[in-house]
Structure 1
Amino acid sequence: MYKDVELRKLPAGHLCRIADILETNNDWRKVMSQIPKDLLSKTSEPKYNNEHMRLIEEHAKQTNRKCAEILFDEWGTSGRVRPTLNTLYNMILKAEIFRAADEIAIIMKESLPVRPTDGPAAVVDTDITLLINDISMEYPNSNQQRPNGVLNNDSTAQMLSSSNIPIVIESLGNKTTAQVKSASDLIKFSQQSSNIPDFDALLPPSQSDQVCYNNSQPSAANSTVPVLDYLPPFPAVDITKIDTTILNNRSLTHFEYNVLAVITNKFAENLTKTAKGPVGKIGSGGFGDVYVGYHKKLDKNLAVKRFRMNLIYENRPHVAVKIFNSEVKALAQLRHHNIVPIIGYSADGPLLCVVCEYVDGGSLETNLAERKLNEKHRFLVMSGTADGLKYIHRCVKPPAEDDIYEESASGSKKNFLHGDVKSANILLTSEYVPKLCDFGLAKNVDSTFITSSLMGTSAYMAPEGFSGTVTQKTDIYSYGIVLLELLTGLRPIVVDDNETINIKDYVEENAVDGNITKLLDPAMCNWQQAEQIYELAKKCLSPQRNARPSIEQVCDTLYKINLEY
């Protein structure tokens, strides 16, 4: 089912289980060493070295993430040819990590890989009947000393039933650990026993898929998990961790998790078209997946960003809540026609959700890949995105009572920055109006912010960002990469002669005497503004952040370019 699905598009739960296995004995290192630079070549040199592994380990310590997860994020989003689940499967087989290979085979609904007949990877015989016989043969005399836990006068079956619980022992055959799906494969409780409670009866009944609508905020007292027939009963979100300014914001609507599940067709992985519009998954990001669905009472399509499950039920729920708080607070305060409008959120279920208006034109990344944009469209995107950033950087006070233009402890003004400007985070309307989205890394900080972990996406990262220095000029650098994408139609990471190279370096190396004409997107015809836009992009991409223009200067330059044509 998922064999040819790219790693970055897989349900988070699948990768989470695989990452857990690869963390054991640092097996992720074995897989990483097997990854080639060119997935299409059988003779390609390794993509990663020991220094890369060290960087992943350091980043894992700083972010409290698993090394395997970071590897999946990096590998899954680099290169023009993206790795699929089957690609990972082949890498894991080469590394002879059969437990992980078994897990992937089950996900792909294929037979388990053949294991060696001896050694650590050999199949372990788990036939309970044979184990009982082995004990009986080894200790035929009931008075013989036996291992701890094996009583002298009782058989194994008698010991298991000594608590008056009727138990039926079933042979599992020659199954591997991955094939033992649940405890019911080993032990079945007798339904007739009065000593056994009916566990099914203790579970809350499945709630219907009736659409409800709730304008009130959730409370800690009633934040129970709705038990749905398609959702495992994970713990509810800890409502006390959500910022009180969000809970008290009357401009935001709280949606019941059940409602969002219904309108998105139970958070369907596949996108389908209906009479009211598309329904299902429309995209994925580093912290969540985005779905669309029609809300009958509001009579509009909604975009629902649901945070990744592995952030919630593993060891990083604080990360999910932190990103959620940042994104909702930023979107609630930043209201502009070039910023995606937020409607509300959901915090009464097992996963946090942010609810925004659905922008029907897709992302800039998708539109560029499909060659849908002409010169006029591309210039609209450039200028509109710059206007949105100008609004963010200037910290224009919104119509709400709260002032986001805060004073720091030292008395200096604080500034907003987006933190993750990229083509995937620029949505387009059907009229090609750009709207910035994904404000999970937005910051309201002093002029310079130092962080111990990376912010943003590495392909768009300014040089100083890799050392933890973040300013508004970081957004300017990322915007410069977007300008190059609009000019050339290339991805931010270009594959050239079986090597991956950043689009900035690729353009600089291949532009003849600084002329970008031959590198322009083939979908464009004689784009007269291209050279001037390229000059602006080069300024935005200056290695020295102080040499980069401010967003006001960027907007002024674009305005002058537009006047000339």
Structure 2
Amino acid sequence: MQALPGSMDSVAMTSELRFLPPWARSQLAHILEVTHGWREVMGRVPSSPWQPGSPIPQDLHYPKKYSSDDIHLISEECVRDRREGFEVLLEEWGTSGRQRPTVQDLLELLRLAKLYRAMDYLTINVLHGEALPRQDGDPIEDLDKALQEGLRTYDNFIQEMGASGEVQDIPSSYTIDEPSSDDLALTIAPVIDDKTKVIGTCNNLTPGQSQAESPPLDTEVLQDLQSSGFTHFSYSLLKEITNNFSNVPTDLGGCKLGEGAFGVVYLAKIFQGGHEKKVAVKRLNSGEIKVEGQFKTEIEVLSRCIHENLLPLEGFSCDGPDWCLVYAYMPNGSLQDRLACSGGSEPLDWQIRVRIGEGAARGIVHLHTYQERPLVHRDIKSANILLDGSFIPKVGDFGLVHLGGSGTHTRTLIKTTTVFGTSAYMAPEAFRGDISVKMDTFSFGIVLLELLTGLPSYDEEREGCDLLSHVQESEAEVEELLDTQAGTWDMNIASHLFALVGLCTEAKKKRPTMVQALYNYSQIINKQLD
């Protein structure tokens, strides 16, 4: 297998769909959006007893995983959120079941649906293989020509879309004389010769004055950036201090800290206030059409929602070919890596784990309660809980945060068929499209279970692949489930925390809010419960 461009990973026919790199997912989504081919794929996905890796049934009457109503609802949601249907399909189908669908399963569905352009892209550009044979009698040249023209039209349309979802004329630049609160120009730090420094004085740089071609920023984003108070870092600076966005991992002498659905994160050093400071630079995937939403959401949330247990944003960059977000660097990495003792790190003792759980809960509660309209994180997991030098947890990755309606913190905030987050952490109702603050409660319960057991949230090799099923199906006592690497647990605290996990992962109606869960947590660790 050959390495993917810009990635340390590789893709094979047997690779799970959820591991397709973002650039491949994005291009496939573009191709399948032109003729709504993703609907054809979704409508052909088999249901049980079919298992991933088995031949796709060709009988038209075999059980289907998704109904026509499911496809219609997702289509409506994609229109509202300006998303592409194939992305949503991958998020749902690609993470469902104990045995996950593979690239080979997708290829077979594309072949049966005669979606040859997507099939060729997957086999040639992603798998680096030869084009698969077509079915006899298909007018391939005319179909490919039509799809190519349609894709160009679609890409142009996306570039012209404004925040309202209507086609707008986007000016090449904004001209101003003096900056004011009404200006659409972006107030940022100018580029200077000494690219190892960040300065505080500001000039005005508009999209038309950028160093390189950038994705179009809508007016709302520009206004938010202008008032955010965050530092702007030039793209050339970030490129230099990350060694040209080196994809060599930090433990091998490079700059890459990690990679997620929205982009790659790099370690860098800057000089600010006369002192050297480490930062984490997230370069967003420019191929993703939802990148503007990610960029805007992170800045909106972190400019208004400041808390000791939320990851602080240092600044941003939008004057280059890729947008970037710059965060404070967390030297102890993610909770997921520390529980796995990645890089040979020492196991976390149980007292530190208990404090991490409480801090993470406080950060989530702040998201839910700091304003009248609560924010739902929707992607709480150990990989998104970062640890500073003192192991104080910082909840991060706010790109999926949903701003809810006004009202109580227990109400359902949104009904949607779009499923986000990581499957093992997701509440059952989320798969039905019901997103509320209690979704974060369920996810927190899984994180707490990781802290107690030291086990990963998902493991294909064990009985009960997801952690909650594994524990629920186990006949072991609490003492046997606890991670012995954490030292000698206080059994009273551990038993009550296991009980809290049970509450947090109950059915939605019985599940507490995070406010209630945090109150119970504090009572437990302060030994105020018998």
Q: Give the structure 1 partner of residue 211 of structure 2.
A: 226
Contact in 2 for aligned 1:282/1:291 (Cα 8 Å): yes
Report the Cα offset of residue 71 of structure 1.
2.4
Contact in 2 for aligned 1:263/1:279 (Cα 8 Å): no
1:25-104, aligned counterparts within 5 Å? 25=37, 26-29=39-42, 32-33=45-46, 49-51=64-66, 54-55=69-70, 57-64=72-79, 65-78=83-96, 97-104=115-122
Q: Give the structure 2 partner of residue 302 of structure 1.
A: 279
1:370 and 1:81 map into 2 onto residues whose CA distance is: 27
2:111 and 2:328 map into 1 onto residues whose CA distance is: 44
Q: When the two structures are superposed, what TM-score results if normalisation uses the length of structure 2?
A: 0.69
Q: 1:463 to 1:392 in 2, by over 3 A?
A: same
Q: Does 1:542 align with 2:506?
A: yes
Q: Structure 2 counterpart of 1:294, which letter?
A: A
Report the Cα offset of residue 281 of structure 1.
5.3
Q: Give the structure 2 partner of residue 418 of structure 1.
A: 377
Q: Does 1:450 align with 2:434?
A: no
Report the Cα offset of residue 437 of structure 1.
0.4
Report the Cα offset of residue 539 of structure 1.
1.8
Q: Secondary structure at the match of 1:435?
A: strand
Contact in 1 for aligned 2:307/2:363 (Cα 8 Å): yes
Describe the superposition over 1:29-74 as per-residue Cα deviations: whole angstroms up to 9, x where unpaired: 37744999765x6589999933267535522420333332222223
Q: Give the structure 1 partner of residue 245 of structure 2.
A: 267
Q: Give the structure 1 partner of residue 306 of structure 2.
A: 335
Contact in 2 for aligned 1:211/1:259 (Cα 8 Å): yes
Q: Does 1:481 align with 2:446?
A: yes
Contact in 1 for aligned 2:438/2:512 (Cα 8 Å): yes
Contact in 1 for aligned 2:43/2:71 (Cα 8 Å): no
Describe the superposition over 1:184-243 as per-residue Cα deviations: whole angstroms up to 9, x where unpaired: xxxxxxxxxxxxxxxxxxxxxxx999837465678574544433xxxxx5x533252316
Contact in 2 for aligned 1:98/1:121 (Cα 8 Å): no
Q: 1:483 to 1:16 in 2, by over 3 A?
A: same
Contact in 2 for aligned 1:294/1:302 (Cα 8 Å): yes
- Which of the residues 4, 10, 20 maps onto 2:30? 20
Report the Cα offset of residue 379 of structure 1.
1.7
Q: Give the structure 1 partner of residue 231 of structure 2.
A: 253
Q: Give the structure 2 partner of residue 290 of structure 1.
A: 264
Q: Give the structure 1 partner of residue 320 of structure 2.
A: 349
Q: Secondary structure at the match of 1:538?
A: helix
Contact in 2 for aligned 1:290/1:303 (Cα 8 Å): no
| CA RMSD after TM alignment | 4.5
Contact in 2 for aligned 1:364/1:423 (Cα 8 Å): yes
Q: 1:281 to 1:266 in 2, by over 3 A?
A: farther
Q: 1:28 to 1:517 in 2, by over 3 A?
A: farther
Report the Cα offset of residue 427 of structure 1.
1.3
Q: Does 1:361 align with 2:361?
A: no
Report the Cα offset of residue 342 of structure 1.
1.0
Q: Structure 1 counterpart of 2:285, which letter?
A: R
- Which of the residues 497, 504, 518 maps onto 1:533? 497
Describe the superposition over 1:130-161 as per-residue Cα deviations: whole angstroms up to 9, x where unpaired: xxxxxxxxxxxxxxxxxxxxxxxxxxxxxxxx
Q: 1:44 to 1:103 in 2, by over 3 A?
A: closer
1:257 and 1:6 map into 2 onto residues whose CA distance is: 34
Q: 1:30 to 1:392 in 2, by over 3 A?
A: closer
1:112 and 1:489 map into 2 onto residues whose CA distance is: 44
Equivalences, count: 452
Q: Does 1:280 align with 2:251?
A: no
Describe the superposition over 1:236-260 as per-residue Cα deviations: whole angstroms up to 9, x where unpaired: 332523163431233x101222322
Report the Cα offset of residue 391 of structure 1.
3.6
Contact in 2 for aligned 1:218/1:347 (Cα 8 Å): no
- Structure 1 portions without partners, runs of 5+: 127-176, 179-206, 228-232, 313-318, 396-404, 406-412
Q: 1:554 to 1:208 in 2, by over 3 A?
A: closer
Report the Cα offset of residue 121 of structure 1.
8.1
Q: Secondary structure at the match of 1:451?
A: strand
Q: Secondary structure at the match of 1:297?
A: strand
Q: Give the structure 1 partner of residue 137 of structure 2.
A: 119
Contact in 1 for aligned 2:335/2:385 (Cα 8 Å): yes
Q: Secondary structure at the match of 1:344?
A: strand
1:369 and 1:324 map into 2 onto residues whose CA distance is: 30
Q: Does 1:433 align with 2:396?
A: no
Name which structure has the greater RCO, CA cutoff 8 Å, separation 6+. 2
Q: Give the structure 2 partner of residue 144 of structure 1.
A: none
Describe the superposition over 1:329-350 as per-residue Cα deviations: whole angstroms up to 9, x where unpaired: 2212333332111101122334
Q: Structure 1 counterpart of 2:78, which letter?
A: T
- Structure 2 portions without partners, runs of 5+: 5-10, 149-190
Q: Structure 2 counterpart of 1:283, which letter?
A: E
Q: 1:114 to 1:417 in 2, by over 3 A?
A: closer
1:237 and 1:466 map into 2 onto residues whose CA distance is: 33
Q: 1:507 to 1:377 in 2, by over 3 A?
A: same
Q: Does 1:557 align with 2:525?
A: no
Identity percentage of aligned residues: 28
Q: 1:33 to 1:273 in 2, by over 3 A?
A: same
Q: Comparing 516-525 with 42-51, which one deviates more in the overlay?
A: 42-51
Q: Does 1:388 align with 2:363?
A: yes
1:329 and 1:475 map into 2 onto residues whose CA distance is: 20
1:510 and 1:546 map into 2 onto residues whose CA distance is: 23
Q: Structure 2 counterpart of 1:289, which letter?
A: G
Larger-gyration structure (1/2): 1
Q: Structure 2 counterpart of 1:311, which letter?
A: E
Report the Cα offset of residue 533 of structure 1.
0.9
Report the Cα offset of residue 561 of structure 1.
3.1
Q: Secondary structure at the match of 1:325?
A: helix
Contact in 2 for aligned 1:449/1:470 (Cα 8 Å): yes
Q: Does 1:241 align with 2:220?
A: yes
Q: Structure 2 counterpart of 1:423, which letter?
A: S
2:137 and 2:326 map into 1 onto residues whose CA distance is: 52
Describe the superposition over 1:419-441 as per-residue Cα deviations: whole angstroms up to 9, x where unpaired: 43222221123543321001230
